[in-house]
Every structure is written in structure tokens, then in C-alpha cells.
């Protein structure tokens, strides 16, 4: 059985657990050591059951707790060379023997799980989404991406569970407090995915077998969970897909654990 949940999601911090048979990994480490322990314990897990930390990119909301986790728990780190170069100055001294360098498109193993990183457009050194394959199914994590092109879609298609960014609502962003330059960055090809773009992409994912959807990395200022859910459900309704029958939809929480997904 695959088990997965978001420990945290959003610009305040990101961390996702994916496991099978009681052991697993985390994607990103933008979480304090205290919150990490509490969030694992809430689902009957402990650090000794975590066999790897995988980093999508070096932005602080994805690596703020990484140094503490490496020093305290000595969990192996899977990270690309360019992402490591951008991360290292932010996290303090760590044991270099824990670092395992990875490359986009080259599969690697973490315990019983097989992962492949997929390059995505975002304003970072070497940003990646990840497809994680286990005996019982596939999970994909794609939480910071400016636009979802056909290559990324094809690489992640067929995932039973998908964490996909729904960062902002167009109207809220346009009428919100951000500067014109920041709004342009968010909307750009190396920024973030809107609710509408997320919904449009999910049409293809649901057609190709995705049944569990977790909307992720919602903006605190430019989105609301109910708006993101309504927008995505509207797109999926266009192909006759019904929530609760053809797919299940959740929104990853910013300051607390999201519900566990099992299949």
C-alpha cells in the first residue's frame, strides 16, 4: 500500500511524505525539526522510517529545515548538483557523505521506491518534479512550475496520486497588493501555476488514470482553497468527471498535516 500526505505546503514551507510498507521518503524539507517530528508522529511515523530526503529546488520554503534534519537524523539527501550549490550556503555545515547527486531523467532508488526527476520551468537553478513508483502505484509531485508543457505532462501521466500546484487565482492576483513586477514574475513561464492552468492540466491527468489529486502550494494572498477547488472541479466537469466518483480532490494545508492518502 502506498501512503502519502503533505506535512506542509505553501510559501511558509513545503514537505511531502511518500512511503510503502511503513518506510518512505520526504520531498522537500521546508519545515522545522519540531514540526517534522510532530507531523510524522501524527501518522505513526518516525525519522528512522525515512530513508531519504529529495529536494525539488533550492528556494528557502523547500530547504529551510534541511540542515537540521541532516544533522539531527542523518537521512541521506538526494539532490542535483546545481540545486546543492544553491542550497548549501543556506543550511550550515552537514556531513558530505549523506549527499547523493541526482540528474533529471535518470532514475534512482530510495529504499523500495524508484524515482525519476523531471526538469520543470521555474526560477531556480535546476528545478524538478518527481515521479515516484512503488509496487502498489505511482505518485507524482509537481509543486513549483510556471507552465505545464507536453514533456512534463507525458512524464508524469499515469500517476495514481498527483500533487499539483494551484498557486493563484487570476482575479485575486490582478487585484491584490503585489507589485506589478512580482505579479509578472508569478504569471511568467518561470513562475507559478494558476488555478485555471492547474484545472486544464488535470483534464489530461484524469483522462490518463489520476484518481487522487492534492492541490498544492496555494498562495496565502492570492488564492483560497474553496476557489481553487471550485475552479478545478469546473474544468473536470467539462469532461464529465465527477468528484467522489472519478477522482478525489484535496487541498494541501499550509500550517498542518493534510489527510493521508492510501491506495
pTM of the model: 0.98
- What digits encode the pLDDT tens for the residues 188-199? 999 999 999 999
Q: What pLDDT is attached to residue 129? A: 98
Give 40's pLDDT tier (boundaries 50, 70, 90): very high
User: Which residue, 37, 38, 3, 30, is CA-closest to 17?
Assistant: 3
Interval 225-260: pLDDT, tens: 999 999 999 999 999 999 999 999 999 999 999 999
Q: Would you state the pLDDT for residue 105? A: 98
Residues 109-163: pLDDT tens digits? 999 999 999 999 999 999 999 999 999 999 999 999 999 999 999 999 999 999 9
Q: How far apart are CA 60 and CA 153, in angstroms?
A: 26
User: What is the model's pLDDT at position 67?
Assistant: 98
HSE at residue 140, side-chain half, CA atoms within 13 A, is 27
What pLDDT, on the 0 to 100 scale, is given for residue 96? 97
Q: Which run of H or E residues covers position 180?
A: helix 180-187
Residue spans per domain, the chain = 2-262
Q: Are 115 and 133 in contact (CB under 8 A)?
A: yes
> Residue 179 has what pLDDT?
98
pLDDT the model gives residue 150: 95
In CATH, the number for domain 2-262 is 3.60.15.10
Amino acid at each position: 500500500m502506498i501512503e502519502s500526505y503533505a506535512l506542509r505546503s505553501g510559501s511558509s514551507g513545503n514537505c511531502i511524505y511518500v512511503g510503502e510498507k511503513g518506510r518512505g521518503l520526504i520531498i522537500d524539507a521546508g519545515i522545522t525539526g519540531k514540526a517534522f517530528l510532530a507531523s510524522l508522529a501524527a501518522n505513526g511515523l518516525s525519522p528512522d522510517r525515512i530513508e531519504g530526503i529529495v529536494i525539488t529546488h533550492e528556494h528557502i520554503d523547500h530547504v529551510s529545515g534541511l540542515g537540521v534534519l541532516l544533522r539531527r537524523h542523518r537521512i541521506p539527501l538526494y539532490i542535483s548538483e546545481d540545486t546543492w550549490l544553491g542550497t548549501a550556503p543556506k543550511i550550515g555545515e552537514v556531513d558530505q557523505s549523506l549527499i547523493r547527486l541526482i540528474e533529471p531523467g535518470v532514475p534512482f532508488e530510495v529504499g523500495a521506491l524508484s524515482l525519476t526527476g523531471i526538469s520543470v520551468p521555474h526560477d531556480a537553478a535546476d528545478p524538478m518534479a518527481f515521479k515516484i513508483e512503488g509496487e502498489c502505484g505511482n505518485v507524482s509531485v509537481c509543486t513549483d512550475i510556471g507552465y505545464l508543457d507536453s514533456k512534463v505532462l507525458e512524464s508524469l501521466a499515469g500517476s495514481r496520486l498527483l500533487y499539483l500546484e494551484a498557486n493563484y487565482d487570476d482575479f485575486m492576483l490582478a487585484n491584490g497588493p503585489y507589485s506589478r513586477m512580482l505579479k509578472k514574475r508569478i504569471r511568467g513561464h518561470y513562475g507559478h501555476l494558476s488555478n485555471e492552468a492547474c484545472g486544464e492540466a488535470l483534464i489530461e491527468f484524469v483522462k490518463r488514470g489520476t484518481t487522487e489529486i492534492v492541490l498544492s502550494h496555494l498562495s496565502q494572498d492570492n488564492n483560497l482553497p474553496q476557489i481553487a477547488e471550485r475552479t478545478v472541479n469546473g474544468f473536470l466537469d467539462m469532461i464529465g468527471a465527477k468528484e467522489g466518483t472519478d477522482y478525489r480532490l484535496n487541498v494541501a494545508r499550509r500550517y498542518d498535516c493534510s489527510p493521508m492518502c492510501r491506495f
